[in-house]
Amino acid sequence: METKYIFVTGGVVSSLGKGIVAASLGKLLQARGYSVTIQKFDPYINIDPGTLNPYEHGECYVTDDGHEADLDLGHYERFLNVATSRANNITTGRIYQNVIRKERKGDYLGKTVQVIPHITDEIKRNVKLLGLKKRYDFVITEIGGTVGDIESLPFLESVRQLKWELGQSCLCLHLTYVPYIAAAGEVKTKPTQHSVKQLQEVGIQPDILVLRTEHSLGSDILRKVALFCNVSPESVVQSVDVPTIYQVPLALQAQHLDEIVLKKCGITPEGTPELKPWKHFLALREEATEEVRIALVGKYVELQDAYKSIDEALLQAAT
For residues 136-155, give the mean pLDDT. Answer: 94
- 154 pLDDT more than 90: yes
Classify domain 4-269 at the CATH topology level: Rossmann fold (3.40.50)
Kindly state the percentage of the chain with pLDDT values over 90: 77
192 within 8 A of 209, measured Cβ to Cβ:
yes
CA distance 5 to 12: 24
Q: What is the pLDDT of residue 183?
A: 87
3-state secondary structure of 179: coil
- 1 pLDDT more than 90: no
Sequence-ordered list of residues with C-beta below 8 angstroms from that of 17, at least 6 positions apart, any chain: 175, 212, 239, 245, 248
pLDDT tens digits, residue range 162-191? Answer: 999 999 899 999 999 999 888 888 889 999
Burial class (CB in 10 A: 0-12, 13-18, 19+), 301: exposed
192 within 8 A of 11, measured Cβ to Cβ:
yes
Half-sphere exposure for 52 (CA within 13 Å, toward CB):
22
- 304 pLDDT more than 90: no
143 within 8 A of 7, measured Cβ to Cβ:
yes
What residue ranges do the domains of the chain occupy?
Answer: 4-269
Greater model confidence, 16 or 9: 9
Taking residue 201's Cβ as centre, other Cβ atoms within 10 Å add up to: 11
3-state secondary structure of 261: helix
- 130 pLDDT more than 90: no
Q: What is the CA radius of gyration of the chain?
A: 20
Residue 73 has what DSSP assignment?
A: H
Sequence-ordered list of residues with C-beta below 8 angstroms from that of 70, at least 6 positions apart, any chain: 40, 42, 49, 57, 61, 89, 144
pLDDT tens digits, residue range 185-219? Answer: 888 999 999 999 999 999 999 999 999 999 899 99
pLDDT tens digits, residue range 262-289? Answer: 999 999 988 899 999 999 999 999 998 8
Q: What is the pLDDT of residue 55?
A: 86
